[in-house]
Amino acid sequence: MSSSLPQIVPAPVSVRAGAGPAVLLADRLAIAAPAELWVEARWFRNVLEAGTGWRIDIVRPGEPAAVVLELAARGQLTASPGPAHTVGAGPGGYRVVVGDGRVSVSGEEQAGVFYGLQTLRQLLPDATLRRAPVGRGAGQGVARPVASPVPVDPVVVEDGPRFGWRGVHLDVCRHFFPKSFLLELVDLAAFHKLNSFHLHLTDDQGWRFPVEAHPRLVEVGAWRRRSQAGHKRENRFDDQPHGGYYTKDDLREVVAYAAERHVNVVPEVEMPGHTVAAIAAYPELGNTGAQLEVGDGWGIYSEVVNLDQGTVGFFGDVIDEVCDVFPGPYLHIGGDECPTSEWENSPRARALMESEGFTSARQLQGWFTARIAPYVARHGRRLVGWDEILEGGAPPGAVVMSWRGVKGGVEAASLGHDVVMVPEEWLYFDWAYSDDPAEPLAIRGATPVERVYRFDPVPPGIPDDRVHHVLGAQCQLWTEYVKTPAHAEYLYFPRLCAFAETVWSPPPPADGGRHFAEFEPRLARHLRRLGALGVNYRPLEGPTPGQARTWRSTSGAANEPSLESGA
């Protein structure tokens, strides 16, 4: 992309200069849109009205309008190399043409038009991304501040996603995040053309989803007395209660807000491990009957749920209520890091092993997952699990998230499972950006932006005839060390911008790697957009003094112990 062309993130398939004079957008702007594009038109009107103060009207197709939205007939956008180069792409192809006195945005589906409009936002001045108009003409003392007219240079953008699963994950258990941040994150994900939001709702340290059939899950399970302080290895605790949960309407609002932005919310309910909060609420779910406290430390707990029919039914109830709130096609049932020591010591679990003829306690997890699968299927959902579900034999049709490297993903694809690549060494944004001691405390180090950028969701080792099983990839934010939305934003941005390019943009050239040298200046340009949006991103040079853990002028050696490997 030459520097005179707009610098768009994630990079579109094709951007070329158009002909003729700039198109002028100004107050009293009209957007023409058919009824099927009302949601997209209204969203765009709302964000642009906020940033400009203009009055914007949505008018019928054919009426005079500076911005014209259209659904293109199938195949009409095939000039766009988008779908042709894709692997398992979902909807989202679009074309934006700025020229002949107007801006036209066409997509084969609503999502495509939405992405075209997101691209259009990046063609406009950064100030228009703000929530109120600023700058010349924005009218000090004027009753209704209005930004100046905006010239948009003629350009043709043709684009479409490489992958259908372009995900962002947030752990709201280790630390609770307010609904306002979930909405903000959806906006920022959609701005980068991501389309999946994985909400990790239950874990040892907190249960965040209210279940009417089992009210103690939040009454007890949402709160903990204290939390681990410092790095896990320091074995220190604060004295500060922590917790929270969402109401069902909070979550329905997040789902609806996300849907308007073409983002699907994937809820996760962890089982059979990572369930200390649930066992604390209902000790009969455990293997020993002991009254546990909601987890207050990080790491892997040996306490897991038992394998009684009542426990299976209990999680079935939870799944029923989760499916009632989250209408999307996927339901994540966790499955990671489930120690089997309690089962090995449990007479009931041992009897089960014997009657099933199992030789390893690990097979019990597969047994449990197989009993949960019908509850997921009953609601017409697809079961998603972390790659450990492969070890007990994943249910047919299950989607596997490959987090322990890409190995599990390669194996799952070879077995015919669909896969989302989420490997920790590239896509765990709870890892530090660098080994600089100024970097805020993090679980591990280091995953710089460039490393994220160089990730390819289709790793070597997946046979050509299995590549279509790679649905896409997802970046994760586990929050043991993340207490605030501001810190979460710091860890996501700008790594999420690089990630967006790995799942949206054309694959890296065969000559070895994406061109980070081309991306970096484009990203630097893009950071000004994040600034206008108010994101607490990490500057490319490193944390600001306000973001840093240590005063930079006193920071010396790299590799402070808190950044060493080891969870």
Smallest separation (angstroms) from ligand TNX to the CB of 525: 31
**Which residue in the list 203, 388, 424, 560 is annotated as catalytic?**
203
Q: Which is nearer to ligand TNX, 69 or 333 (CB)?
A: 333
Q: Which of the residues 331 through 350 are near ligand TNX (CB under 6 A)? A: 336-337
The verdict on 126 binding ligand TNX (CB under 6 A) reads no
Residue 193: phi and psi, rounded to 5, are 65, 25
> Strand locations in 117-177, DSSP E?
150-152, 155-159, 165-171
**Which residue in the list 40, 158, 303, 337 is annotated as catalytic?**
337
Active site residue 468: no
* Nearest-angstrom CA–CA distance, 89 and 41: 24
309-325 vs 362-378: helix axis angle to the nearest 10? Answer: 40
Smallest separation (angstroms) from ligand TNX to the CB of 321: 23
Q: Which residue in the set 165, 428, 453, 490 belongs to the binding site for ligand TNX (CB under 6 A)?
A: 428
Smallest separation (angstroms) from ligand TNX to the CB of 265: 18
Smallest separation (angstroms) from ligand TNX to the CB of 232: 10
458 to 196, 219, 402, 507: CA distances (angstroms): 18, 43, 12, 9
Q: Which residue in the set 114, 197, 478, 493 belongs to the binding site for ligand TNX (CB under 6 A)?
A: 478
Q: Which of the residues 80 through 109 are near ligand TNX (CB under 6 A)? A: none
Q: Which is nearer to ligand TNX, 244 or 531 (CB)?
A: 244
Smallest separation (angstroms) from ligand TNX to the CB of 476: 7
Q: What is the CA radius of gyration of the chain?
A: 25
**Which residue in the list 274, 332, 487, 526 is annotated as catalytic?**
274
Active site residue 564: no
Q: Which is nearer to ligand TNX, 432 or 443 (CB)?
A: 443
Q: Which is nearer to ligand TNX, 430 or 560 (CB)?
A: 430
Size of the site for ligand TNX (CB under 6 A): 10
The verdict on 377 binding ligand TNX (CB under 6 A) reads no
* Nearest-angstrom CA–CA distance, 350 and 361: 8
The verdict on 567 binding ligand TNX (CB under 6 A) reads yes
Q: Which is nearer to ligand TNX, 97 or 406 (CB)?
A: 406
Q: Which residue in the set 418, 430, 439, 560 belongs to the binding site for ligand TNX (CB under 6 A)?
A: 430
DSSP 419-448: EEE--HHHHBTTS-S-S-TTSPP-SS----
* Nearest-angstrom CA–CA distance, 281 and 205: 12
Residue entry with tokens 């939405």 = 114
Q: Which two tokens stand for residue 460?
A: 């070597």
Smallest separation (angstroms) from ligand TNX to the CB of 200: 8
Residue 122: phi and psi, rounded to 5, are -80, -10
Helix and strand numbers (H, E) in the chain are 16, 23
CA distance from start to end of the chain: 41
Smallest separation (angstroms) from ligand TNX to the CB of 326: 19
Q: Which is nearer to ligand TNX, 160 or 445 (CB)?
A: 445
179-191 vs 110-123: helix axis angle to the nearest 10? Answer: 80
345 to 56, 287, 341, 358, 388: CA distances (angstroms): 67, 9, 6, 15, 21
What is the per-residue binding string for ligand TNX in 286-325, x denoting contact by CB under 6 A?
A: ----------------------------------------
3-state secondary structure of 41: helix
* Nearest-angstrom CA–CA distance, 132 and 90: 34
Q: Which residue in the set 207, 386, 453, 493 belongs to the binding site for ligand TNX (CB under 6 A)?
A: 386
Smallest separation (angstroms) from ligand TNX to the CB of 332: 10
Q: Which is nearer to ligand TNX, 169 or 261 (CB)?
A: 169
Active site residue 203: yes
Which has the closest alpha carbon to 238: 158, 176, 296? 296
**One-letter amino acid of 415:** L
Q: Which residue in the set 186, 217, 412, 443 belongs to the binding site for ligand TNX (CB under 6 A)?
A: 443
Which amino acids are annotated catalytic?
A: 203, 274, 337
- The site for ligand TNX (CB under 6 A) is made up of 336-337, 386, 403, 428, 430, 443, 478, 480, 567
